[in-house]
Chains A and B, each alone.
Chain A
Amino acid sequence: MKNSILLTACASVAMMATAALGEVAPGDVVFDDNGGVPVSLTGVPGDPANGQKTMINRKKGNCFACHVVSAMSDVPFHGLVGPSLDGVASRYDEAFIRGILVNAKHTFDGTIMPAMYVPATLPRTMKKFQGTTILSAQEVEDVLSYLETLKE
């Protein structure tokens, strides 16, 4: 009983590094040998429209600070720090892209791209972000479902 109350409390704080029921917790994500993550983090199919919103939101994915997505050219100012995401789903399989979204620093050693689903523990992390992840598990799945539409 106590436990289930605790779990519900955790689930309501979506951004805390504690997973909701049925979710893979941030620290528990298992990478395959390719650096991919083959299994959905939530088991709930991603929502591409919410994925787009998450990508645009500067407090969430903030993907356009660094990436171009031609299909979303109505979003002002796409940065050029990272490669264009056009056709990304033709370049990589779903598991590999999920791996990039969970922890790009695991896929690309030393990359500037933030790790989106790893609890923040680095030095001087602002108090309000300590232990949190940038995206929730479902937001990762939502973004992934939108990226899967970017085929060449």
Chain B
Amino acid sequence: MKNITLSAVIATGFALVGTAALAEGQPPAEIKPLVIDGINIVAEAQAPSHMDIPAIYSGWEFRAEETQVLQLDDFDNPGMLEVDAAREAFNTVDGAAGKSCASCHEGGPEEFKGLAAVLPRWNPDQNALYTMEDYINYCRTARMQAEAWPWGKTQLNGMVGLLNLQSRGEIRNVAIDGPVADLWQQGHDIYYVKQGQLGMSCSSCHEENYGVRIRAEILSQGQTTGFPVYRLKNAHLNSVENRFKGCMKNMRAEPYKPGGPEFHALELYVASRGNGLGIEGPSVRN
């Protein structure tokens, strides 16, 4: 009896030797001010109280200098081409109702200042969690009688870029309680579950290892305040949920559908991890 207890203790002792403390992320090597065309963007802030890490950072802070500079001036930002196309689309009649966005939103895209900072949010009229894409496609289908723009494609990403740009510098502040409380919890659970063949969670990389080099790239916190993101890798704007899809594939996990309910819940949760950071509008990453 005693023997059994003793060997159990030894086994536990050995097990402890091999038990690594969970890694912790590291702040960016150098924190630089993010100022785009004279607008100051908060790129470092105290983490919201629902998080276990001390501070949150824009993904911009973790990028190499040559990538960073591309975002400091809209003339250098290659994502602006798709935004310019969206500006034209805003004024172009489309659909059976014979209307353009501008027919109703007479103030132009500027009407939407501040909106990106609070999305996704509960839309009480539709009884659903709404992202910017959802608002745009609702107007297109229900109000213009035009076809919905496909998720993740240039027309929709460009329009999201144009509307998010109106909130540049505004502080992200998505609600996580009330009607979205359960969805937020669902997103939280997707973020932390170990999944896919590699047995990783989003937190394995973006919470436990931010600031650390994984092969050639420095991991960021996976923030979404810079979306849509122009990626040098694929040379177009990318939506938040398409980025999630890419990360899940890298984990050898079956991605959820971009635009579907699980990724919406995850988008809300990840957005809430950025409460306190400034909205960048279309950003540039590698």
Contacts and interface: CB of A to CB of B under 8 A. Distances in A.
A115 B14 contact: no
A125 B209 CA distance: 22
Contact of B196 (A34, A109, A126): A126
Interface string B13-25: 0110011101100
Contacts of A34: 14, 18
Interface in A89-146: 105, 107-112, 114-115, 120, 122-127, 129, 132, 134
Contacts of B19: 108-109
Most A-side CB within 10 Å, residue of B18, B196, B209: B18
B199 A110 contact: no
A7 to B, nearest CB: 25
B253 interface: yes
A55 to B, nearest CB: 13
B102 interface: no
Nearest to B15: A35
A85 interface: no
Question: Chain B contact residues: over half helix, strand or loop, or mixed?
Answer: loop
Contact of B197 (A65, A80, A122): A122
Q: For the side of the interface on B, what is the size category?
A: 20 to 34
Given A33-B14, A108-B18, A79 B196 contact: no
Contact of A33 (B10, B194, B204): B10
Contacts of B7: 33
A114 B205 CA distance: 13
B198 interface: yes
Given A34-B14, A124-B196, A112 B253 contact: no
Nearest to A103: B199
A80 B200 CA distance: 17
A66 B215 CA distance: 6
Interface residues of A, number: 31
Contacts of A123: 193, 195, 253
B254 A127 contact: yes
A34 B253 CA distance: 31
B233 interface: no
B241 to A, nearest CB: 15
Contacts of A132: 197
A39 interface: no
Contact of A125 (B15, B205, B214, B253): B253
A29 to B, nearest CB: 16
A109 B193 contact: no
B9 to A, nearest CB: 11
A101 to B, nearest CB: 13
B10 A125 contact: no
B204 A112 contact: yes
Contacts of A64: 215
Contacts of B196: 120, 122, 124-126, 129
B248 A124 contact: yes
25 contacts: A33-B10, A65-B214, A66-B214, A77-B215, A81-B212, A105-B199, A109-B20, A110-B20, A112-B209, A114-B197, A114-B198, A114-B199, A114-B200, A122-B194, A122-B195, A122-B196, A123-B253, A124-B254, A125-B195, A125-B196, A125-B252, A127-B254, A129-B196, A129-B197, A134-B198
Interface of A: 33-35, 64-66, 76-81, 105, 107-112, 114-115, 120, 122-127, 129, 132, 134
